[in-house]
Structure 1
């Protein structure tokens, strides 16, 4: 058992140090319910055989760019329904938004989760009335990890990939083997290395790695290292610090009229249009 004084434990296991977490989740739930009632949303569309292999789709106009947003929860918990507010924030900015669920640990190993969620993007593209101009992968925490895996491994001939916007992501999974989280994840170092995007080939697209300045050193370092790794491959990458935000409050930014995260996605889309000429209206 990992002791409570372990530096890795302190850096990655911190929910009890953030009592505001439940108020944040309550706000997410309320605004997400409002988003589902006010926007056109296709619910629980299957992309695989498992009951959790489903996604919700908030479609914007014909040919609108697509954002695929993956929820977090250390691959063990949470649900897309809590994050419908992401659809509200981005649809009004001209993006279609898909929010997939995925099988959870310990029932499903993380390497299998990575493999199975990869099927969601082709299924999402098939369920849009017209192909999107391009798509962007995003997600929070463990969802940032899964968003990176989608961007780095998905075969999406139906639409070009413009970029990846992970928020408070985990890109080197190995440190988690030294925490109590591994009781459910059951990772050894070799398997953790294989599912770490920081060791995978970088695709030809942009990265904006968003992280709160009030997050733990470990999470800040995860995003710093990943953005450096991405730029070291010759692709454009930015490290985007969100001042005064911690691991739970960072997504509250998407509830604001002037959202920094949403503007990062808009700028990424504009850069892709400028560089490729795709998706111009």
Structure 2
């Protein structure tokens, strides 16, 4: 029997794992101060205290909208920890939205999916042009869920999505049923199946990049390869990237760099 708790345990296998969150928080706060004149913070997209998004505007007219959805196993963090990761796409001329969303156990995973769709829809109403979605870990699951055939996005918004970047995403939720964290998530088998992008058909024309660190836990590498392969059988364009030397916590770092390969995957050439 596989130890699924160990399979999804990242911090235990990352040196100085405890130091990452304080650094992210400090870098995010510094970025917000730096771009304060062009940032719109805490835009409400629905009811509830977590139904808020931040929007960082570029200099000049935006090329379109990039949306970055945070991770945390659907039960931790909020938008304020990740502001600095908007820097790369913003420097390339994109407006960048970062939403918070309701967390388990107060919200079921299907409700979290719906909330992220609401956030994207509201942000899309503020910025014209194409949409590019990215998410890390649980956020990778959530952005992939937006381009499933049964998308929670309105048709007009879904039609604007030109690329999805799932960073270390969890795309088949069924293994989580055997983890201790499911005491918080409260997933049932039916919900796990319904909310798993790898078990769904993608929208026609979907372009998806599954990006994962080469030094990540084997389960995250498997999950990324799974969706890239499963969706390749449809009218899609999929790509799998294993970033050399990167683990689950630093695989996102290059989003802050305008010229990085990761930022180009998010915001285009």
Structure-1-length-normalised TM-score: 0.87
- Once the two structures are superposed, what CA deviation does each residue of 1:37-89 show, in whole Å capped at 9, x if it has no partner? 11121111011101101100012232422111000000000111111011112
Alignment equivalent of 1:29, drawn from 1, 12, 25: 25
Partner of 1:175: 175
CA distance in structure 2 between the partners assigned to 1:214 and 1:232 by the alignment: 27
Alignment equivalent of 1:51, drawn from 49, 52, 67: 49
Partner-residue secondary structure (3-state), 2:147:
helix
Which structure 2 residues correspond to residues 178-197 of structure 1 after superposition, within 5 A?
Answer: 178-197=178-197
Partner-residue secondary structure (3-state), 1:222:
helix
Partner of 1:106: 105
- 1:151–1:163 Cα contact (<8 Å) kept: no
Q: What value does the CA root-mean-square deviation take over the aligned residues?
A: 1.7
Alignment equivalent of 1:10, drawn from 3, 6, 9: 6
1:264 aligns with 2:269: no
1:66 aligns with 2:65: yes
CA distance in structure 1 between the partners assigned to 2:13 and 2:161 by the alignment: 37
Partner of 1:142: 138
1:226 aligns with 2:227: yes
Partner of 2:253: 252
CA distance in structure 1 between the partners assigned to 2:26 and 2:155 by the alignment: 34
Partner-residue secondary structure (3-state), 1:263:
helix
Partner-residue secondary structure (3-state), 1:25:
helix
- Once the two structures are superposed, what CA deviation does each residue of 1:111-166 show, in whole Å capped at 9, x if it has no partner? 111122211122112233xx1x2001111000111111223312252561101001
Partner-residue secondary structure (3-state), 1:122:
helix
Q: 1:156 to 1:91 in 2, by over 3 A?
A: farther
1:205 aligns with 2:201: no
- 2:168–2:224 Cα contact (<8 Å) kept: yes
Structure 2: where are the runs of 5+ without partners? none
